[in-house]
């Protein structure tokens, strides 16, 4: 078993270090190799996703990814910006299904970060499409004849892209409560009308799953109003990005949300995937030892479960994180004072 480790920028290296300590403590015999990605790779090589980093990811059973984003790269052309590295990896590795679980951990139900009316009732999974949408449509920038600047990003989906993520959503729902909410903007967008039509077609193959449709604006409102109504949500790249950040605040903090990006490729032990916290590089707190590493530790657990076939070890990590929270070891994101290493130590002690 071999994993690629891409810590990236900002708090990425700090939170990844804690996840690796947890993996090491379990002594699972996983070989690993580290490579540069994002701003760190740009500064060292002139490219945010160097060919050697992509080759390492391709040759591994799974990728543990920290975060990318670096204010020092803000003035660069778009194709050189750190964020292009994660988009490039998702596209080049055909990782089209991004699973983003969000649940209230036991012990946090009465936490002040949670509103009492929703606490304890949230356990949902957002299935975000990752290979299409405005992220990958035609983009452009020009200065018009009148001297006005204009930019565009084309929102585009084809039928097969929607079909494969719809299958991922239905399969996820089959493994949970057999309810799927498809989120789109079909009253306005052509892509969303296609999305809805295709999801309805795919639904015929899953008669055991109850399907509902929701417009994205309503879904945002409902997530704030009563997040407990959702189980599995399937949606596009942009809507999924926004809704999962919103969902993170329903369960306390973005510092708790892990993710798995999966495609069709099978490894000897499971499905090849890339695993990352949903948060970014948080440059404002980078290097200060303040970041909550739990989302990355939980991402490592997802790696063990999905790509390496080590479900028992994944269960142990998830239980240790849950116990850490229940024991009141909270990062600043949750109103506590525990730092990155302290949280890592606390999880290690509860393995």
Compare residues 10 and 202 and give the one whose CB is closer to ligand GGG: 10
Question: Which is the catalytic residue, given 9, 133, 241, 333?
Answer: 241
Structure tokens at 270: 């499971």
Question: Under a CB-based contact definition with an 8 Å cutoff, are residues 329 and 346 in contact?
Answer: yes
Establish if 30 lies at the interface with ligand GGG (CB under 6 A): no
What is the smallest separation between the CB atom of 134 and ligand GGG, expressed in angstroms? Answer: 10
Question: Under a CB-based contact definition with an 8 Å cutoff, are residues 1 and 31 in contact?
Answer: yes
Near ligand GGG by CB under 6 A, which window of 20-28, 146-154, 272-280, 330-338?
272-280
d(C-alpha 66, C-alpha 239), whole Å: 22
Establish if 254 lies at the interface with ligand GGG (CB under 6 A): no
The answer to whether the annotation marks 12 as part of a ligand binding site is no
Window 50 to 69, contacts with ligand GGG (CB under 6 A): 67-69
For this structure, is 345 an active site residue? Answer: no
Establish if 133 lies at the interface with ligand GGG (CB under 6 A): no
- Measured CA to CA in angstroms, residue 95 lies from 21, 64, 271 at distances of 26, 14, 11
d(C-alpha 254, C-alpha 247), whole Å: 8
Establish if 83 lies at the interface with ligand GGG (CB under 6 A): yes
Question: Which of 286, 276, 259 has its CA nearest to residue 57?
Answer: 276
d(C-alpha 351, C-alpha 345), whole Å: 10
Establish if 39 lies at the interface with ligand GGG (CB under 6 A): no
The answer to whether the annotation marks 282 as part of a ligand binding site is yes
Q: Where are the alpha helices (DSSP H) in 36-177?
A: 39-45, 51-58, 83-92, 159-174
Window 86 to 105, contacts with ligand GGG (CB under 6 A): 86
Establish if 241 lies at the interface with ligand GGG (CB under 6 A): yes
For this structure, is 133 an active site residue? Answer: no
Window 279 to 308, contacts with ligand GGG (CB under 6 A): 280
What is the smallest separation between the CB atom of 296 and ligand GGG, expressed in angstroms? Answer: 8
d(C-alpha 305, C-alpha 302), whole Å: 5
The answer to whether the annotation marks 288 as part of a ligand binding site is yes
């Amino acid at each position: 078993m071999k994993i690629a480790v891409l810590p990236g920028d900002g708090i990425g290296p700090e939170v990844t270090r804690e996840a690796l300590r947890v993996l090491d403590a379990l002594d699972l015999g996983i070989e690993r190799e580290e490579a540069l990605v994002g701003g760190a790779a740009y500064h060292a090589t002139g490219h945010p996703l160097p060919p050697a980093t992509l080759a390492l990811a391709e040759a591994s059973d799974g990728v543990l990814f920290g975060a990318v984003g670096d204010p020092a790269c803000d003035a660069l052309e778009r194709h050189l910006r750190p964020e292009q590295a994660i988009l490039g990896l998702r596209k080049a590795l055909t990782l089209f299904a991004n699973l983003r679980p969000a649940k209230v951990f036991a012990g946090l139900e009465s936490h002040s970060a949670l509103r009492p009316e929703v606490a304890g009732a949230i356990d949902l999974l957002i299935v975000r499409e990752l290979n299409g949408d405005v992220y990958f449509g035609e983009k452009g920038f020009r200065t018009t004849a009148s001297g006005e600047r204009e930019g565009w990003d084309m929102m585009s989906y084809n039928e097969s892209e929607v079909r494969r993520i719809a299958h991922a959503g239905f399969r996820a729902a089959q493994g949970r409560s057999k309810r799927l909410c498809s989120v789109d903007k079909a009253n306005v967008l052509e892509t969303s009308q296609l999305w809805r039509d295709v999801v309805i077609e795919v639904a015929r193959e899953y008669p055991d799953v109850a399907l509902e449709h929701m417009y994205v604006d309503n879904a945002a409102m409902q997530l704030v109003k009563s997040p407990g109504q959702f189980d599995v949500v399937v949606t596009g790249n942009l809507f999924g990005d926004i809704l999962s950040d919103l969902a993170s605040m329903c369960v306390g903090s973005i510092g708790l949300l892990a993710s798995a990006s999966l495609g069709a490729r099978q490894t000897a032990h499971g499905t090849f995937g890339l695993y990352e916290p949903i948060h970014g590089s948080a440059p404002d707190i980078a290097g200060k030892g303040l970041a909550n590493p739990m989302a990355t530790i939980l991402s490592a657990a997802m790696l063990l479960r999905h790509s390496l076939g080590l479900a028992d070890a994944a269960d142990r990590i998830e239980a240790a994180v849950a116990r850490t929270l229940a024991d009141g070891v909270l990062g600043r994101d949750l109103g506590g004072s525990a730092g990155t290493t302290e949280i890592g130590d606390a999880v290690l002690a509860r393995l």
